[in-house]
Amino acid sequence: MNAKRIFRGPILWIVLAVIAIGLLVDLTGNLTGGYSEEPTSKVVSIINGNEPLKEVVLVDGEQEIQVTMGGDNPAKYKAVWVGNQSEQLIDRLNERVAAGSLESWVGKNPTPGFFQTLLGTLIPFIIIGVLFFFLLNSVQGGGSRVMQFGKSKAKVANKDTPKTTFRDVAGCEEAIEELEEIKEFLAEPAKFQAVGAKIPKGVLLYGPPGTGKTLLARAVAGEAGVPFYSISGSDFVEMFVGVGASRVRDLFEQAKENAPAIVFIDEIDAVGRHRGAGMGGGHDEREQTLNQLLVEMDGFDVRGGVILIAATNRPDVLDPALLRPGRFDRQIAVDAPDMNGRFQILRVHAEGKPMGPDVDLQSVARRTPGFTGADLANVLNEAALLTARKNERMITNVDLDEAIDRVIAGPQRRSRLMNEREKLITAYHEGGHALVAAALPGTDPVQKVTILPRGRALGYTMVLPEQDKYANTRAELLDQLAYMMGGRAAEELVFHDPTTGASNDIEKATSVARAMVTQYGMTERLGAIKLGSDGSEPFLGRDFGHQRDYSEDIAAVVDQEVSKLISNAHQEAFDILNENRDVLDALVNALFERETLDRAAVAEVFQPLRLRPRRPAWTGSDSRVPSSIPPVTPPPPALNGQNSQNGQSANGHRDNGQGQLPPAPGDHPAGGAALPPGHSPVPPTAPPATGPGSGPGQQGPGGSAGPQGPGVTDGPAGPPSEGWPPAGPDFR
């Protein structure tokens, strides 16, 4: 603890006061009235003698004898008696009074005075108060903040704060554009007021973790040029009732006094959750805080000049009153970047890192679909750490490749030694995934196959798309189901007995098949209907929140259709492996020889592979016959911003000025299904299977999780002049 803070604080004076009171009590107790302390034997002999005495006082309780000599000797003595000696002393004193050698004797039973009683009562309370004050001082940070737990904990950005600008942010151009407009409004309000525009009161940044929401807020703080207050949503929640609402009031009072100002609340879902939700009703303290926040954002007080920016990755749990216009006027999605965005992010994070001549950041961006800005920063940092570990001065492509694998599947486990049979099972398992993926037209290209243990997997197969994609056709999903079952089918084909290693594959295949039946309407028996409610209650947990709004008979049909899809995919994978057994064996031999095969090596092994044709058209009903008229040919993209207005190309997409038209988030093909879950760059969360051979099949992202990613395969070529439609994926 800081000594200067102790001397300046009130604790020192309280301690000194207690010491002074104790000294005063001790001093008053030591006032003896002129009596000198003598041995008991001497005082008792004086009483038993015949010397004249003026007065004797016996003090009960303290067992003290006080003797005042008489005659010409004015001496005063005191001592204490022992045991029942007082009875003998009283008899002797009575005898001396009767004989005239003692003027009088007195017995006293002293009681504490008023001040002594008061001090004895107050001192314990003073000690307890000092201890409570000290604890409160420690909790609140000490100094002058001891009694200010109701004040805002917001941090104000100043000139000493490291500045982040919009130049340090990449991959989210739309969000930057919206926030730059707010900065411009604060700098030149007359430009907007001239056309009747009002400053937005709130901006909500939402998106997956790691996409740069807080980084955008720091960039606003560095660019705004106005007071910037930042606080976390959890700072409003305290053990004392009403503290959260008090801090909200204090925060906005500070901001309004310094208006125009910007307030940033990170993780606003900690305080802005839906009111009245949960098993036991609402949370009164949090709801009071939310109510105060709603009033401050758009209440009776119409004073403006304060813009609230908030960030969350759970917009679904926020209260509707918080999301309405007038409070959060703008809700900006900050999603995972596309390939061009990833390239720009890599360029930002590559500054200050020496790159080798073989490093191509564009290639790294192409190999990292679904990665967020935090993932990409981690990739470059891991590559730098690997370079430093090897005592090298330049980051090479080999370091980046290993860094990508570490971020996706974890570090390589060199200490895990497998026997030859387990290694062989792993090789056939991963080879089955890779071969089925390569033989089907609707799966992504195989980028890597390895039998080296990494993370929780004994091996993995990585398939990655060559460009970003935001929807999948039914044919592609069926191909990917077969790819997921490729490892299990290889074990059955070669070893005649499957292992537990395919548990993760089966789990993911079942999830995709059930989504095809209940969400995407991709079965003939049930049709294009949505089964199950998405109006889940997030406060009850994931399992309790889902509601089944269909009958038991429909549930049985759903289970049958899911089982049918999995069974067909399993059989298709088995047939593909059986037809290409020679290629599968060659792949396993290559894996035993090199342990890891990249895309070029895999392509070389797969040269004699017998490919499957594209699936026939499917509409779900015989009465809906696909049209023989091909789709229109889209106009060519505008180059370098030409033939486009305000950065918009002819098809409505925003041109990035580099002749590229990244697809806008949320774009789907006409009549396309809902967007499947996004590609996750983290290892699967399912617990590892137990038992012999548990490693194979626990694929990293891009392994059996491929169908869930934004991956695409070689898309169809431009519509031919004849022979339309092709025997391939459905284009309805």
Residues acting as catalytic residues: 430
The amino acid present at 57, given as its one-letter code, is V
Query: Any binding-site annotation on 207?
Result: yes
Bridging pattern class, strands 64-69 and 76-80: antiparallel
Query: Any binding-site annotation on 305?
Result: no
SS3 222: helix
Query: Any binding-site annotation on 653?
Result: no
Query: Any binding-site annotation on 349?
Result: no
Strand order of the sheet with strand 446-450? 460-463, 446-450, 596-598
- Ordered DSSP codes for 370-411: T--HHHHHHHHHHHHHHHHHTT-SSB-HHHHHHHHHHHHH-S
Closest Cα to residue 521, out of 419, 298, 728, 674? 674
What lies within 8 Å, CB to CB, of 653 at 6+ separation is 661, 662, 663, 664, 667
Closest Cα to residue 473, out of 225, 715, 136? 715
Q: At what angle do helices 486-495 and 552-579 cross, to 10 degrees?
A: 60
Question: Structure tokens of 317?
Answer: 């749990």
Q: Residue 297 in contact with residue 327, Cβ under 8 Å?
A: yes
Query: Any binding-site annotation on 716?
Result: no
Question: HEC states along 73-108?
Answer: CCCEEEEECCCCHHHHHHHHHHHHHHHCCEEEEEEE
Query: Any binding-site annotation on 213?
Result: yes
Q: At what angle do helices 173-187 and 213-224 cross, to 10 degrees?
A: 30
Question: Cα 4 from chain centroid?
Answer: 38
Question: Structure tokens of 727?
Answer: 């025997």
Question: Structure tokens of 656?
Answer: 């990035």
* Residue 720: Cβ within 10 Å count: 11
Query: Any binding-site annotation on 210?
Result: yes
Closest Cα to residue 593, out of 425, 427, 411, 429? 427
- Ordered DSSP codes for 284-297: HHHHHHHHHHHHHH
What lies within 8 Å, CB to CB, of 50 at 6+ separation is 101
Q: Which residues pair with 78 in a beta bridge?
A: 37, 66
Torsion sign across C-alpha atoms 213, 299, 302, 253:
negative
Question: Structure tokens of 628?
Answer: 């023989």
Question: Structure tokens of 313?
Answer: 């990755």
Query: Any binding-site annotation on 40?
Result: no
Q: Residue 208 in contact with residue 314, Cβ under 8 Å?
A: no
Query: Any binding-site annotation on 211?
Result: yes
The amino acid present at 430, given as its one-letter code, is E
Question: How many Cα atoms within 13 Å fall on the side-chain side of residue 372?
Answer: 15
Question: How many Cα atoms within 13 Å fall on the side-chain side of residue 696?
Answer: 31
Q: Exposure pattern of 482-496 as b/e (b: 16+ CB <10 Å)?
A: bbbbbbbbbbbbbee
Q: Which residues pair with 457 in a beta bridge?
A: 454
Known binding-site positions for Zn(2+): 429, 433, 505
Known binding-site positions: 207-214, 429, 433, 505
Known binding-site positions for ATP: 207-214
